[in-house]
Copies of this chain bind each other. A is one copy, B any other.
Amino acid sequence: MTVARVRSGGRPTLEEVAARAGVGRGTASRVINGSPRVSAHTREAVEAAVAELGYVPNRAARALAGNRTDAIALVVPESESRFFAEPYFSDIVRGVGAALAETDMQLLLTLAGSDRERRRLAQYLTAHRVDGVLLVSVHADDPLPDLLEQLGMPAVMSGRRSASEPLAAVDSDNFEGARSAVDHLISRGRRSIATITGHLDVYGAQRRLDGYRKAVASAGLDPDERLIAPADFTEEGGARAMRDLLARRPDVDAVFAASDVMAAGARQVLREEGRRIPDDVALVGFDDSAVARHMDPALTSVRQPIEEMGREMTRVLLQEIAGEDLERPQIVLPTELIVRDSS
């Protein structure tokens, strides 16, 4: 892997490569950057010199001269523990990494939780330290998307804040995911199907509720509002919601929770109340996280294609950076229902 090279001074420069190939600096640069305006003969000579010297372009010099950085930032709201929970973060990163592997773009990780960090972030972007931005888990009142739009900075977000975004967005199909989960419960013969929702100012949570409603309506079931319990994506919230549901509608025979963690909370309450899962009450979650796989009984859950979302976001961002203007694509990726013992 490492060629022992006796060089007088540090890393070779473009100038040295050019000299070795017997061409000018400009020509060498053209070859390195794949310009077509170079004769085949010259190209070969330069490529040989590059190989012999083990030349690697200096990023800083390139960035300074070319006014670009060959780097994108992944902005992570560290305050939001939900995002950091398995499997979201690692899967997104994996997808982004996969999409970036083909290019020589660098991935900058930016934790922007506190105000202080958001201020720093704004500076980063303004100072053009990156060519593009990947925004994940954006809050409804997050100013960042608009700021980026204003600055004309290429950016893609995952998880929309509303139906119409100023930025390109990649999301999973929350509506269909929820609907498929409830359809599944219906096909199992359940009739009194409740749902535990997430914060409804999160667009995805709203869409999951919409999907639930749609499935219930399509099946001609009773659309009782008492079967809808709002919660906040936490385990405690899920437990509380489950208690409310049991109090209001003791005949409930199935629950669709908008996250696995809330389902875990619900399961706890159901068990305390002596309801068997799935015999008395069937339970379905959302996310297909480790929690679902290791719950007892194993939890049926809606899987989101997180890694693919990361890949897709990156793909769109790279296109935007390349200047292929695709006026804010809003991409929606399909979910998959993973059926386990709880339903």
Question: Which A residues lie at the B interface, using CB under 8 A?
Answer: 1-2, 11, 54, 56-61, 63-64, 69, 74, 76, 78, 84-87, 89-90, 93-94, 97, 101, 104, 106-111, 116-117, 119-120, 122-123, 126-129, 147, 264, 289-291, 294-296
Q: Report which of B74, B106, B119, B296 forms a contact with A296, defined as CB distance below 8 A.
A: B296
Q: List 18 A-B contacts (CB under 8 A).
A: A56-B123, A58-B127, A59-B69, A60-B69, A63-B63, A76-B93, A97-B109, A97-B111, A101-B111, A104-B120, A106-B108, A107-B109, A107-B110, A264-B294, A289-B290, A290-B290, A290-B294, A294-B295
Across the interface, which residues of B come within 8 angstroms of A57, CB to CB? Answer: 127
**Closest partner residue, chain B, to A126 (CB atom):** B56
**Closest partner residue, chain B, to A111 (CB atom):** B97
Across the interface, which residues of B come within 8 angstroms of A123, CB to CB? Answer: 56
Distance in angstroms between the alpha carbons of A2 and B119 in the assembled complex: 10
- CB–CB A78/B97 < 8 A: yes
Across the interface, which residues of B come within 8 angstroms of A127, CB to CB? Answer: 11, 56-59
A118 CB to closest chain B CB, in angstroms? 8
